[in-house]
Amino acid sequence: MRNIQAQMDEWLANNRRDLVHCDRQPGNLLITKNSCNKRQLRAREENLEDIMTGDVMDYMYRKGLAICLDCNRPRARG
């Protein structure tokens, strides 16, 4: 069984062209273009008017999506 780091390195090498750095998320997140697109779409579908409603995990989820709501990165096609 190969070690996890080798598998991650191989995946990154094969998929580098599909990754973008998200400077809006903490830690300059490296995310696939498809995931970025899904986050933008989800942010538009969710009611983010009052992100303080719900529990702490719900707040974190909504806060993370709210960051994507006004992102100017072009959405991926396909």
Q: Is residue 78 part of a domain?
A: no
Q: Is residue 48 part of a domain?
A: yes
Q: Is residue 44 part of a domain?
A: yes
Residue 76: predicted pLDDT:
55
Are 65 and 42 within 8 A, CB to CB?
Answer: yes
Q: Is residue 74 part of a domain?
A: no
* Closest by Cα among 32, 33, 42, 36 to 62: 42
Q: Give how many domains the chain has, as a whole number.
A: 1
Q: Is residue 77 part of a domain?
A: no
- Interval 2-55: pLDDT, tens: 699 999 999 999 999 999 988 888 787 889 999 999 989 988 888 888 878 878
**Sign of the dihedral through C-alpha 2, 6, 8, 9:** negative
pLDDT band (50, 70, 90) for residue 56: confident
Residue 63: predicted pLDDT:
84
pLDDT band (50, 70, 90) for residue 67: confident
Residue 16 domain boundaries:
4-69
